[in-house]
Structure formats: C-alpha cells, structure tokens
Amino acid sequence: MKTIVIYTSQTGFTKRYAEWIAEAAGADCLELSAAKKKDFTAYEAIIFGGWACAGNISKISWLKGNIDNWADKKLIAFFVGASPIDNPEIKAALNQIFKESERKKVETFYCPGGLNYEKMSTPSKLMMKMFIKTLKAKKDKTEKEQVMLKMISSSYDISDKKYIEPILQCLKK
Ligand SMILES: Cc1cc2nc3c(=O)[nH]c(=O)nc-3n(C[C@H](O)[C@H](O)[C@H](O)COP(=O)(O)O)c2cc1C
C-alpha cells in the first residue's frame, strides 16, 4: 500500500515516531510544511502524526480539513504526548478531538513521547511552568497527580519503537 507519513513535531518525539513508522512500512515521510505542497493522488494511505497540546493534537485541523478529499484513502492519525500509554484520559481526549463521523474515517493511536525542555520553545516552556505551578499549588493532590508532578518537572523520554506496532497492524488490515 503506497503510504506517506506526515508529521509536525516541536522537540523531536513525533518526528522520531514518524520516521520509525515510515521505515517499517516502507513509506515516504514528510514534515507538514513540506507536505502541504505535495500531491497525494498516488497515495493509498496517509498517516498523520502530531504532538499533544493541552488536550488537543497540534495541527490536527489540517488532517480534519482533508478527510473528505481523501475519502478513498486509508487515514491514520497518531499523537505523541508526555503521558504514559495507560493514561485513561487518552481515550477520552480522542473522543473529544474527533467527532463520531470523523472517527469512522480516521483510525487513531497514541504513542508516549516525553518532555524535552532543552528543545522546547519559550512559550511552550512558559505554559508548562504555569501548569506545574498550578499543580504544585493544588491542595490534596491525588497520588497520580503527585507522580505526574515529579515526572513533568524535568525532561524524560518514554518513547519506544514497540508503540508503532498497532499502527503497522492497522496499515496491513
Ligand atoms: C504547551 C504544552 C502542552 C502539552 N499538553 C500535553 C497534553 O495535553 N497531554 C500530553 O500527554 N502531553 C502534553 N504535552 C507534552 C508534549 O505533547 C510532549 O512533550 C510530546 O512528546 C512533544 O512532541 P514533540 O517532541 O514531537 O514536539 C504538552 C507540551 C506542551 C509544551
């Protein structure tokens, strides 16, 4: 199946997953700004990857805006965030981000990335700082919140190639 992986990435985690998927699937791989100039006629499958940003997926509107143009293609979206794979909020977020009609046309997946403060833009760093400050100030933090607070206070990497497996399986279906 002729496939292209298109991604947007701020600190490199989504790029890494996009490259892993493209390599394993023998697919082309392009950053979103370059992909916008591309003709997709020849592709049978389009995989879009974006990073999680405040409960949404960065640049997901680009994919959503093209769903009807690509009705004849297999469409897959994956998103990469700082949460571990077992975070129950992931499914709820996906249900919020994609309408039911969109979920019928786009298969969705989550891949854990991490945080890289060294590569983050200044506005992103500020947003993270504010989030951490709010969480720190919260009284009666749950155990989960305490673990999260510790985790997100510095850079970490929980990405793993194994998380692309469900995406590859979906591509083969
Ligand atoms: C402003 C901001 C908001 C974020 N919101 C979320 C979020 O809602 N859920 C999540 O799991 N990760 C969130 N993250 C973490 C990023 O999605 C994570 O670092 C991801 O791996 C970045 O991917 P990239 O390296 O491709 O840019 C956020 C990061 C920033 C900077």
The rounded Cα 134 to chain-centroid distance in angstroms is 24
Residues in the chain with pLDDT < 50?
none
Q: What is the pTM of this model?
A: 0.96
- Its CATH class, for the domain covering 3-116+156-172, is alpha beta
Q: Report whether residue 84 contacts ligand 1, using a CB cutoff of 6 Å.
A: no
Q: Report whether residue 110 contacts ligand 1, using a CB cutoff of 6 Å.
A: no
Q: pLDDT tens digits for 14-40?
A: 999 999 999 999 999 999 999 999 999
98 phi and psi, to 5 degrees? Answer: -110, 130
Choose which residue among 5, 13, 51 to substitute to test ligand 1 binding: the one with the highest number of ligand atoms within 8 A of its C-beta: 51
Q: pLDDT tens digits for 101-115?
A: 999 999 999 999 999
Choose which residue among 21, 53, 154 to substitute to test ligand 1 binding: the one with the highest number of ligand atoms within 8 A of its C-beta: 53
Are 49 and 3 within 8 A, CB to CB?
no
